[in-house]
A and B are shown apart, each in its own frame.
Chain A
């Protein structure tokens, strides 16, 4: 399974929750598969999906799922100690780890080589870290939501992209409808 297959699988699970989606293809894929006002699409700023997600989770009580990538987490590795030391039980970080920088042409990341992001997250102090196969992502995510505990999921999937258009929605519209959904 590639990332877009994983997103298709989990779309019914995440559609009623607040979602912060990573820059580039992940946002474009989620936007095409199941656009929802509860989705915040990052149009820039690689690496900050987990930070934004944690910020939303700390500011209010609804569950928040940040969909991140291995390359983006590596860009902002300092996020993992911050997450570990600021536990928000309504926060789930789902790292779709395909071992490559998908949006830029599938160049390999170190997470696809010797570096285990699950081990890094644990070493940073994160208490509920689950690594799963792509096929198990939906079940793992549902279990994390039901647990009511902050969870880091590292979903190991294959590298690969589908062709699709960029998001042309205005960023202020994306932000405003997300904030309206937060308050709903």
Chain B
């Protein structure tokens, strides 16, 4: 089974039925998988804070939401994470491509990568880092944890986890 299928199977097994996405090259496979599953209402967002607003609404409407985005989005969404998701105590699994780590071909991505964990730590957001494919074994448990504690939770997935960029 592909890693994308496994992750989306875990979403479905945990009753996550509303997912917003902002694309990243590394996440293309998992976004295709989300779009393909009839159990999931997939709503592409133009910006990640907008996506978090949609997720907050879906949660209050009775669905379990999730967002899929790139780590650069942490810079975009700090205010939303703090004043909406955390302030109103809402759960939000954030499946994040961790650009700018080992095997990264684009130098500018490193500029946000060096701040990513520090920002998540500052925001007191529980953070998990998937580096090897077997790390995804914990995804199901992380989702259960997220909906138990009603917090945003970050799952950082780096290039090594996704198998690099193909030509390296």
A residues apposed to B, CB below 8 Å: 20, 40, 42-45, 47-48, 50-60, 76, 78-79, 81-82, 86, 171-172, 174-175, 178-179, 182-183
Chain A: which residue is nearest B82 at the CB level? A44
User: Which 7 A-B residue pairings sit nearest by Cβ, starting from the closest?
Assistant: A55-B57, A59-B61, A51-B53, A44-B83, A78-B46, A48-B53, A52-B57
Q: Does B18 contact A (CB under 8 A)?
A: yes
Instruction: Tell which of B3-11, B87-95, B101-109, B126-134 binds the partner.
Output: B87-95
Pick the contact of B79 from A20, A45, A55 — CB < 8 Å? Answer: A45
Beyond the given pairs A45-B79, A58-B41, A76-B49, 7 more chain A to chain B contacts, judged by CB atoms under 8 angstroms and listed by A's residue number, are A45-B84, A52-B57, A55-B53, A58-B58, A82-B44, A172-B88, A182-B60
Q: Does B24 contact A (CB under 8 A)?
A: no
A-B contact pairs, 8 of them (CB 8 A): A45-B49, A54-B57, A55-B58, A58-B58, A79-B46, A86-B43, A174-B88, A182-B60
A58 and B43 within 8 A (CB) = yes
B residues apposed to A, CB below 8 Å: 18, 41, 43-47, 49-63, 65, 79-80, 82-84, 87-90
Given the contacts A55-B55, A58-B18, A82-B46, A45 and B83 also touching, CB distance less than 8 Å: yes
A175 and B46 within 8 A (CB) = no
A171 and B87 within 8 A (CB) = yes
Given the contacts A45-B83, A47-B49, A81-B46, A58 and B88 also touching, CB distance less than 8 Å: no
CB distance from B130 to the nearest CB of A (A): 27
CB distance from A54 to the nearest CB of B (A): 6
Chain B: which residue is nearest A76 at the CB level? B50
C-alpha gap A47/B45 in the complex (Å) = 14
CB distance from A51 to the nearest CB of B (A): 3
A44 and B79 within 8 A (CB) = yes
B43 and A40 within 8 A (CB) = no
C-alpha gap A4/B136 in the complex (Å) = 51
C-alpha gap A50/B47 in the complex (Å) = 14
Complex interface: chain A residues within 8 A of B52 (CB): 48, 51
Complex interface: chain B residues within 8 A of A48 (CB): 49-50, 52-53, 56, 80, 84
Complex interface: chain B residues within 8 A of A79 (CB): 46, 50, 53
